[in-house]
Amino acid sequence: MAQSENRADYKIGVVGVGRMGANIARHLNDEGFDVTVVYDVASERAQELATELGASAAGELAKVTALADYIITVVTDDAAMQTIFAEDADDSLLENASGKVFINCATISPQVHVEVEQLAEKNGAESLEGCMASSITQAREGTLYLMCGGKKSTFDKVRSILDSMSVSLRYIGEAGQAAQVKALVNMVMNINTAGLAEGLGLGAALGLDLAMLQEVFAQTGANSRVLETDGEDMEARDHECYFSSAHASKDSGIALDLADAAGISLPLAQATKAQYDRMIELGLGDLDKSGVAELTFPGRGPEN
């Protein structure tokens, strides 16, 4: 398909234009898609982005559905997702949704993705989960790692949009399954992050050279993707937020709920969530997940 000739025919709405949603919108706009409307509960944020892109800033969810054929949602949690897809509410994306396609990119519970697909189908629409295993920079550059769940026919219908958003695209299976995989990805990532913070924190307490220690980690079984992305930030206390500690807590919680339902114990995931819960308690939930090092390095922490 000659995508460059057809992209302007895709009328796209984006609901939830925080840093991830806004950068997805910017990238799609740069790629020639018609980002026609944006919405956010923080209306000023939506208006600023709309002005930047030459789009409309919707004051109501139903207006997004009215103006766009493909609606990308990037909201915070299960409650927010259930609110925007509320069936009997005064304002909802489901209003006059027949023929529309929803691409839901937030990290939420798998069951909520299943519920949204059912509600969309009931109202004549389609729904696809597009779980992102990447961060803000990748959203802006269109280099996300996307895992998708839902009807294969829906995945194929929006393939041009997904290809533009991602550098690696994987169809996982039916609704809910991509969210399960995403929960496991983030659970393991969070465990790795907390483990790295403990390793570097102990290294600092022993007086070891942390640059040397990270080089050794990188060439041994201690290596990880997290070492590459967070190691230097932990040492330098540079916790500019790309994936917040609050989100790390939430996502570890989703994995633990899945484990409870499956009847298995995940003690490392539980311990990791406890660390990120502690950060929230200390008012550090807005720090990047690398900020867990503030709990492990000597001379840091709430008492210092």
DSSP character string of the chain: --HHHHGGG-EEEEE--SHHHHHHHHHHHHTT-EEEEEE-SSHHHHHHHHHHHT-EE-SSHHHHHHH-SEEEE--SSHHHHHHHT-TTSSS-TTTT-TT-EEEE-S---HHHHHHHHHHHHHTT-EEEEEEE-S-HHHHHHT-EEEEEEE-HHHHHHTHHHHHHHEEEEEEEESTTHHHHHHHHHHHHHHHHHHHHHHHHHHHHHTT--HHHHHHHHHTSTT--HHHHHHHHHHHHT----SSBHHHHHHHHHHHHHHHHHHT---HHHHHHHHHHHHHHHTT-TTSBGGGGGGGTSTT-STT-
End-of-domain residue from the set 154, 175, 196 = 175
For residues 135 and 284, membership in a common domain is answered with no
Determine, yes or no, domain membership for 109: yes
303 pLDDT above the threshold of 80: no
For residues 161 and 190, membership in a common domain is answered with no
Instruction: Name the residue with higher pLDDT: 158 or 5.
Output: 158
Determine, yes or no, domain membership for 113: yes
For residues 128 and 161, membership in a common domain is answered with yes
CB 24 within 8 A of CB 139: yes
For residues 206 and 256, membership in a common domain is answered with yes
pTM of the model: 0.89
End-of-domain residue from the set 152, 175, 198 = 175
30-56 tens-digit pLDDT: 999 999 999 999 999 999 999 999 999
Residues 7-22: what's their mean pLDDT?
A: 95
223-277 tens-digit pLDDT: 999 999 999 999 999 999 989 999 999 999 999 999 999 999 999 999 999 999 9
Query: Cβ–Cβ contacts within 10 Å for residue 157, how many?
Result: 15
For residues 111 and 216, membership in a common domain is answered with no
Determine, yes or no, domain membership for 116: yes
CB 170 within 8 A of CB 150: no
Determine, yes or no, domain membership for 304: no
Determine, yes or no, domain membership for 251: yes
CB 166 within 8 A of CB 194: no
CATH number at residue 280: 1.10.1040.10
Determine, yes or no, domain membership for 302: no
For residues 247 and 156, membership in a common domain is answered with no
The count of domains in the chain is 2
Determine, yes or no, domain membership for 85: yes
CATH number at residue 98: 3.40.50.720
80 pLDDT above the threshold of 90: yes
- Distance between CA atoms of residues 76 and 21, nearest Å: 11
Determine, yes or no, domain membership for 303: no
End-of-domain residue from the set 175, 193, 228 = 175
For residues 200 and 119, membership in a common domain is answered with no
For residues 12 and 123, membership in a common domain is answered with yes
For residues 24 and 92, membership in a common domain is answered with yes
- Distance between CA atoms of residues 16 and 263, nearest Å: 34
| Structural domain of 9 | 3-175
For residues 151 and 20, membership in a common domain is answered with yes
For residues 134 and 266, membership in a common domain is answered with no
For residues 138 and 230, membership in a common domain is answered with no
